[in-house]
Chains A and B, each alone.
Chain A
Amino acid sequence: GAVVSQHPSWVICKSGTSVKIECRSLDFQATTMFWYRQFPKQSLMLMATSNEGSKATYEQGVEKDKFLINHASLTLSTLTVTSAHPEDSSFYICSARDVGTVGLFFGSGTQLSVL
């Protein structure tokens, strides 16, 4: 199946700093990528849909100025958590769809801990 690489796997940062998470489709081109957030023992919640070459579409309640998404190429999308606070601590997961397929393939996730 298609491979989605996410980096870093975990990151610890101080409150007020910014953190960038990368999501790459390794063996296919992804015009659309998705960013999810997951709290312990909870479901995956879609944060935003990232489209190559255009602005991301954010779900209701997600602050677009805090969670900056850039999808500059067909294989790379980035999520930047700006001015991170402890409440932003969570597991962030990206996913992408290979052209012609219905299902999504997920990255391995990034555990963000804000101190």
Chain B
Amino acid sequence: EDQVTQSPEALRLQEGESSSLNCSYTVSGLRGLFWYRQDPGKGPEFLFTLYSAGEEKEKERLKATLTKKESFLHITAPKPEDSATYLCAVQAVYNTDKLIFGTGTRLQVFP
């Protein structure tokens, strides 16, 4: 069964304290892995798509990496405005219409 597991469930960081969020996945043929940011009461905001192991993408303080079993979202020197829930989702080759989401990591960055 295709599955996405994110850890930790919640993360509290001091401003400037770098850390990483984990997304472990099991899928029968990976088409793409997606990272989204979701603020309370809002829809997910697209961040990155990764397609193959070894791929990396960066955007400001965020960097996403991918292996055959997991993806990491590295946050460098976070700021309070980075506080949000970060969602990971996978798309299988056999069903490109469906995204399978993890439950997310709730990140809080304190000044």
Contacts and interface: CB of A to CB of B under 8 A. Distances in A.
Contacts of B34: 103-104
Interface residues of chain A: helix, strand, loop or mixed (majority): strand
Given A32-B97, A109-B41, 4 more contacts: A34-B97, A103-B46, A107-B43, A111-B41
Interface stretch (A41-49, A66-74, A77-85): A41-49
A43 B46 contact: no
B27 to A, nearest CB: 15
Contact of B44 (A42, A93, A102, A111): A93
Interface residues of A, number: 25
Contacts of B32: 102-103
A41 B43 CA distance: 14
A109 B63 CA distance: 26
B46 A109 contact: no
Best-buried of A1, A32, A41 by chain B (most CB within 10 Å) = A41
Interface string A95-108: 10000001111111
B83 interface: no
Interface in A37-62: 41-46, 49
A6 interface: yes
A102 B98 CA distance: 11
A45 B102 CA distance: 10
A91 B99 CA distance: 17
B103 A43 contact: yes
A111 B43 CA distance: 11
Interface string B74-101: 0000000000000101010000111101
